[in-house]
A = this chain, B = another copy of it.
Amino acid sequence: MGDLHEGHRSLLRKSKLENDLTVLSIFVNPLQFGPQEDFRKYPRDKKKDEMLAKKEKVDIIFHPSEKEMYPASYLTYVENPALSQSLCGEFRPGHFKGVTTVVSKLLNIVTPDVLYLGQKDLQQAVVIQKMVADLNVPVKVKICPTVREKNGLALSSRNTYLTPQQKQEAAILYQSLQQARKLIQNGEHNPKVIVHTIKKMMQTTHISSIDYIECVQAADLTSLNVLKGNVAIALAVWFGRTRLIDNIFVSVK
């Protein structure tokens, strides 16, 4: 969706290393924003994006207009209802339907061999992986590590909405996830204890509200009663009017 930061740039670098040709799509997709969400104010800076893309030696920028992507007669949707209702899906109805639809279109237009996605948007990555597998889309999906600020805050275009104080306090997201990892590594396998610990840490800040804090199976985002296997701890919280998400993977024996 543009407004490129170091997270996007890490994907571009990986693609440049592994492929002959790298295509960057930039499209703020109206279909994945709810009516009360930040579609209008979502940061757009074409010139900055083009400059950064050039620095990363991107071969092609695909930057379609809204009208090209969704002409007035547009009628077709791709969706994965089962994976789109938990976590962020509960708070952003229609969001993942917008994501799977636009990514289907982008994949059909660009026909890449490899699709690079960031782990920060974990549910998005899992929903797209599942769509690609289910619909036999001929592309390999690679999920790449989240890039973070020095204080641990996951890079996101939405971080520009934060005040300096909020930005500082938002470090708690990653700190609490790291604390959760430690607890699990020390033998805590009860997700309720993990969630409770993270919540307590959140409440030491001026956080406005919590959408969710959950321990799920990394592969299919299903809930866990006992932590086992490849676990993802994922959360979404609000600082003022800014919604932030983060997640980590923990492998539990």
Contact = CB atoms under 8 A, between A and B. Distances in A.
Interface residues of A, number: 26
24 contacts: A73-B220, A74-B134, A75-B80, A75-B81, A75-B82, A75-B130, A75-B134, A76-B78, A76-B79, A76-B80, A76-B131, A76-B134, A76-B135, A77-B78, A78-B104, A79-B79, A104-B135, A105-B134, A105-B135, A105-B136, A108-B136, A108-B137, A108-B138, A111-B138
Interface string A79-93: 111110000000000
A109 interface: yes
A100 B81 CA distance: 16
Interface in A210-227: 220
Interface in A104-162: 104-105, 108-109, 111, 130-131, 134-138
A128 B105 CA distance: 15
